Amino acid sequence: MNKKTLFLVLLGVLVLPAMALAQGITITGMVQNVARVVWTVGTIIVIILWVITGVLFLAAQGDPGKLKTAKTALFTSIGGTVIIILAFSAASIIENAIFRGV
């Protein structure tokens, strides 16, 4: 199975239940449910990245090559965390601007 097919299958598995569980048959409800699912999956991925980073640092034991890999994983984890937080914040700001006029 190639990457595009896998991505589409995962997207369908994540998005379709969220759309089916929408409170009403409104676009707003569906978008909020999809955003909630994406937020949850992103948070889980970031937590897994942090755990892997910790294991890499523990396994490095002073080896420069392994420490370089662990540092790369650390910066990736920090970047992923920042992206998830910014995405959630941006979604909240846009929602408030559009729907509440604030």
Q: Return the percent helix, strand and coil in the chain, to nearest 5.
A: 85, 0, 15
Tokens 């937020």, residue? 39
- Decide: residue 53, CB within 10 A, 0-12 exposed, 13-18 middle, 19+ buried: buried
- Provide the number of structural domains found in the chain: 1
Residue 3 pLDDT class (50, 70, 90 cuts): confident
Position 27 confidence tier, pLDDT thresholds 50, 70, 90: low
Looking at residue 93, its pLDDT comes to: 81
CB atoms within 10 A of CB 48: 12
CA–chain centroid gap for 3, Å, is 18
Q: What is the pLDDT of residues 37-50, one digit of tens each?
A: 888 888 899 999 99
> Are residues 74 and 53 in contact, defined by beta-carbon separation less than 8 angstroms?
yes
What is the model's pTM? Answer: 0.65
Q: What is the pLDDT of residue 88?
A: 81
* pLDDT one-digit tens code per residue, 50-94: 999 999 999 998 889 999 999 999 999 999 999 988 888 887 787
Q: Which amino acid is at 30?
A: M
Structural domain harbouring 25: 3-100
